[in-house]
Amino acid sequence: MAQRAGAAVTWARVLVMLHAAAAIVLIGAATHHAIIAWGYLRGRFKVRLGRIYAATVATTYVTTFGLGLLAYPTFRYEVRALFLDRYEPWASNLFDTKENFAALGLPLVAIALGLCRAIGPELAAGRTREEDRALIWAYAACVWLVAAIVWFAVVSGLAITLTRGV
């Protein structure tokens, strides 16, 4: 049984490393996407780049989230139950907050991906300037919220890991 638990911890460590690597790509893509969204509000449409970042953020967000879910059962017992809940309850609470925000970010990522495909100077035919402006503001808001959630999750994850990792 102990050998089986050891294998689970080893796989969880691999998953956490992959989770961290995906988070590195995610934080970069989300930050760059936020900068592109700012340009949209200023009338500077880098549509192709915005769509690339939207797709990259969506892919890495789902990947990072999924790898975290796969590592969670081992984390729940080996780290949280045996250490964080007992000695570092603030880290345990921060983890819950981080995960709740990350879950709220999933639909925002999907909305941003959809909106980036619906806006751009070449797609403005048939819409009024106010409709375009509303879409751009909705797009920018989603992108910025996702970037804020990603930054919060990464910084929180690092703070939690510094207390004790898998």
Q: What is the pLDDT of residues 53-88, one digit of tens each?
A: 999 999 999 999 999 999 988 888 888 888 889 999
Specify whether the CB–CB gap between 79 and 92 falls below 8 A. Answer: no
Q: Domain containing 75: what range?
A: 2-163
Whole-structure pTM value: 0.86
Q: Which residue has the tokens 């000695």?
A: 87
Question: What pLDDT score does 54 carry?
Answer: 96
Q: What is the pLDDT of residues 3-16, one digit of tens each?
A: 455 666 788 889 99
Question: What pLDDT score does 22 carry?
Answer: 97
Give, in degrees to the nearest 5, the angle at Cα 20 between 80 and 99. 50
Report how many domains make up the chain.
1
Range 7-13 contact pairs with CB under 8 angstroms and sequence separation of 24 or more: 8/73, 8/74, 9/74, 9/78, 9/166, 11/74, 12/71, 12/74, 12/75, 12/78, 12/166, 13/166
What's the half-sphere exposure (Cβ side, CA atoms, 13 Å) at 87?
7
CATH number at residue 53: 1.20.120
Q: What is the pLDDT of residues 116-138, one digit of tens each?
A: 988 866 555 555 666 778 889 99
